[in-house]
A and B are shown apart, each in its own frame.
Chain A
Amino acid sequence: MTGRRFAEIRAQGRGALVGYLPVGYPDVPISLAAMRALTGEGDAPGVDLVEIGMPYSDPVMDGATIQKAGTRALQRGVRTADVFAAVGAVAATGTPAVVMIYWNLVERYGADAFARDLKNAGGAGLITPDLTPDEAQEWFEASDAHGLDRIFLVSPSSTDDRLARTVSSCRGWVYATSLMGVTGTRTQTSSLAPALVRRIRTLDPEAMVGVGLGVSNGAQAREVAEFADAVIVGSALLNPLLTADDAGRPEDLSGLRTVVADLAAGVRSGTSLASQGLSGS
Chain B
Amino acid sequence: MPAVSLPDATGHFDRFGGKFVPEALYAALQQLEEAFVAANADPAFKTELDELLADYTGRPSPVTEARRFSEHAGGATILLKREDLNHTGSHKINNVLGQALLTRRMGKTRVIAETGAGQHGVATATAAALFGLECRVYMGKVDTERQALNVARMRLLGAEVIAVDSGTQTLKDAMNDAMRDWVASVDNTHYLIGSVAGPHPFPMIVREFQRVISTEARAQVLARYGRLPDAVAACVGGGSNALGIFADFIPDTEVGLYGFEAGGEGVDTGRHAATISAGEVGVLHGMRTFVLQNADGQTSESHSISAGLDYPGVGPEHAWLAKTGRASYEPITDSEAMDAFRLLTETEGIMPAIESAHAVAGALKLGRRLTEQGVEKPLILVNLSGRGDKDVDTAIEWFHVDTHGDSSTGAAQ
**Chain A residues within 8 Å of B, Cβ to Cβ:** 56-64, 67, 71, 74, 79-80, 103-105, 107-109, 129-132, 134-135, 152-159, 162, 166, 177, 179-182
Contacts and interface: CB of A to CB of B under 8 A. Distances in A.
Contacts of A177: 22-24
A155 B24 CA distance: 5
Contacts of A134: 10, 18-19
Interface in B155-197: 166-167, 172-173, 176, 179-180, 183-187
Given A71-B167, A74-B298, A60 B22 contact: yes
Is chain A's interface secondary structure helix, strand, loop, or mixed overall? Answer: loop
B179 A162 contact: no
Given A59-B176, A132-B26, 10 more contacts: A60-B179, A60-B183, A64-B166, A104-B293, A108-B296, A131-B20, A153-B24, A166-B23, A180-B184, A182-B184
Contacts of A156: 24
17 contacts: A58-B167, A58-B173, A71-B166, A104-B297, A130-B20, A130-B21, A130-B286, A132-B19, A134-B10, A155-B26, A157-B186, A158-B23, A158-B26, A177-B22, A180-B185, A181-B184, A182-B183
Nearest to A67: B166
A6 B21 CA distance: 27
Nearest to A63: B180
B299 A57 contact: yes
Contacts of A62: 180
Contacts of B30: 159
B291 to A, nearest CB: 7
The 10 closest A-B pairs by CB, nearest first: A108-B297, A155-B24, A181-B184, A104-B283, A157-B27, A57-B299, A60-B179, A104-B297, A57-B298, A105-B297
Interface string B8-21: 00100000001111
Contacts of B28: 157
A278 B117 CA distance: 56
Contacts, number: 113
Most buried by A among B20, B30, B285: B20
Contact of A107 (B23, B282, B285): B282
B302 to A, nearest CB: 12
A56 to B, nearest CB: 7
B184 to A, nearest CB: 4
Interface in B275-326: 282-286, 291, 293, 295-299
Nearest to B185: A180
A132 B286 CA distance: 11
Is chain B's interface secondary structure helix, strand, loop, or mixed overall? Answer: mixed
Contact of A132 (B23, B167, B186, B299): B23
B293 A108 contact: yes
A180 B282 contact: no
A63 B22 CA distance: 14
Given A104-B291, A105-B296, A130-B20, A58 B186 contact: no
A152 B23 contact: yes
A181 B172 CA distance: 19
B167 A135 contact: no
A58 B20 CA distance: 13
Nearest to B313: A58
Contacts of A109: 296-297
A155 B284 contact: no
A155 B295 CA distance: 32
B299 A130 contact: no
B27 A58 contact: no
Given A71-B167, A135-B18, A58 B184 contact: no
Contacts of A67: 166
A58 B187 contact: no
A232 B179 CA distance: 22
Contacts of B186: 157, 180
B176 A162 contact: no
B23 A162 contact: yes
A208 B32 CA distance: 32
Contact of A105 (B179, B183, B286, B298): B298
Contact of B297 (A107, A153, A155, A180): A107
Nearest to B10: A134
Contacts of A132: 19, 21, 23, 26
Contact of A154 (B23, B167, B296): B23
Contacts of B285: 58, 60
A153 B180 contact: no
Contacts of B172: 58
Contacts of A58: 167, 172-173, 176, 284-285, 299
Contacts of A63: 180
